[in-house]
Structure 1
Amino acid sequence: MTDPHETARVLNGLVQTCKDGEEGFRTCAKAVLSPPLQQMLEARAEECAAAAEKLQGMVMELGDVPEEHTSTGGDMHRRWINFKALITGQNEKAILDECERGEDAAMHNYEKALDEALPPAVREVVQMQYAGVIRNHGQMRALKDSGRI
């Protein structure tokens, strides 16, 4: 993919993914009772925000307009998290299930982006961010499966 507009399109899709992650982690942080878990989820939200900002800068460098919003699917998922928190009484395992599900979607989106013929510098950033998504996913699963929650 040598067309800068196509590269920007792929990056903008990942910007939405990152913004969905940011808002999703913030929603989950508000839905749990444990202060350490809230802090950890807020930290993940900040990482997602930083990732989105990095991608937005890359889109601007390509001469395109960066995405600023979350996706409709992400909005629906956050509403589901709020509903699930309400009906489960803020069950932290159930909330972490939703965090993990959100990271499943993010992994899929990053994998799709990495299937594209991205310029080497762009691919390097996308691969680094993808590694972070994999880490987040593993952390959510480990917390959920640890039995400490």
Structure 2
Amino acid sequence: MQASHDLAILNSLIEAVLDSSQGYGEAAEQAKNPMIADLFRRWAGERARVVDALRAVARELGGRPADNGTVLASAHRMFMELRAHMSKGDKAVVQEVERGEDHIKCKFEEALAQTELAAPVRAAIENAYASVKRGHEEMRDLKRAYE
């Protein structure tokens, strides 16, 4: 029972981080400023590493890790693309990425609020959350620079 609960939490986070990685990749394609595009590509790669680490823990539990993102994120990415094309600017892309960062940070905080997580699962989520939090802070600061 414990393993299935932990696996469900892990898979939810894996899906969110996959969405984030894909969102960063798409944001890199939309960004006009090469430095911002490089930043987004770096975060896409970092999120891919987080996915790999969470998947390894899911496998250790004997489960099958999630292999794709959520349908909701696909809709969000389409909206982000539409908005970016309409506004034709990095500011809109940065705002959407930061909004996505708020979402993923909240998902990790909800997972960490679970008191019944097994210690190795909690440790993996905490490690992943450190990366998520850094990404959130960097995007928040970038968004503020555009304001």
The two structures have a TM-score, normalised by structure 1, of: 0.93
1:16-95 matches, cutoff 5 A: 16-89=15-88, 91-95=89-93
Identity %: 28
Aligned to 2:112: 114
Counterpart code for 1:108? C
Task: Return the alpha-carbon distance in structure 2 between the equivalents of residues 68 and 143 of structure 1.
Answer: 30
Is residue 28–residue 37 contact of structure 2 (8 Å, CA) maintained in 1?
A: yes
Task: Return the alpha-carbon distance in structure 1 between the equivalents of residues 124 and 65 of structure 2.
Answer: 16
| Runs of at least 5 residues in structure 1 that lack an aligned partner in the other structure | none
| Runs of at least 5 residues in structure 2 that lack an aligned partner in the other structure | none
**1:136 equivalenced with 2:135 (yes/no):** yes
Q: Runs of 4 or more off by more than 4 Å in structure 1?
A: none
Is residue 27–residue 81 contact of structure 1 (8 Å, CA) maintained in 2?
A: no
Q: Deviations over 1:111-130 (max 9, x none)?
A: 11112121122212211211
Q: Deviations over 1:35-90 (max 9, x none)?
A: 1111110010011111111111111111111100110111111101110111001x
Is residue 2–residue 118 contact of structure 2 (8 Å, CA) maintained in 1?
A: no
Is residue 57–residue 124 contact of structure 2 (8 Å, CA) maintained in 1?
A: no
- What RMSD, in angstroms, separates the aligned Cα atoms of the two structures? 1.3
Task: Return the alpha-carbon distance in structure 1 between the equivalents of residues 145 and 32 of structure 2.
Answer: 17
Counterpart code for 2:111? A
Is residue 30–residue 38 contact of structure 1 (8 Å, CA) maintained in 2?
A: yes
The two structures have a TM-score, normalised by structure 2, of: 0.94
Task: Return the alpha-carbon distance in structure 1 between the equivalents of residues 2 and 136 of structure 2.
Answer: 32
Query: What is the count of residue pairs matched by the alignment?
Result: 146
SS class of match (1:67):
coil
Task: Return the alpha-carbon distance in structure 2 between the equivalents of residues 115 and 142 of structure 1.
Answer: 26
1:15 shift after superposition: 0.4
**1:100 equivalenced with 2:108 (yes/no):** no
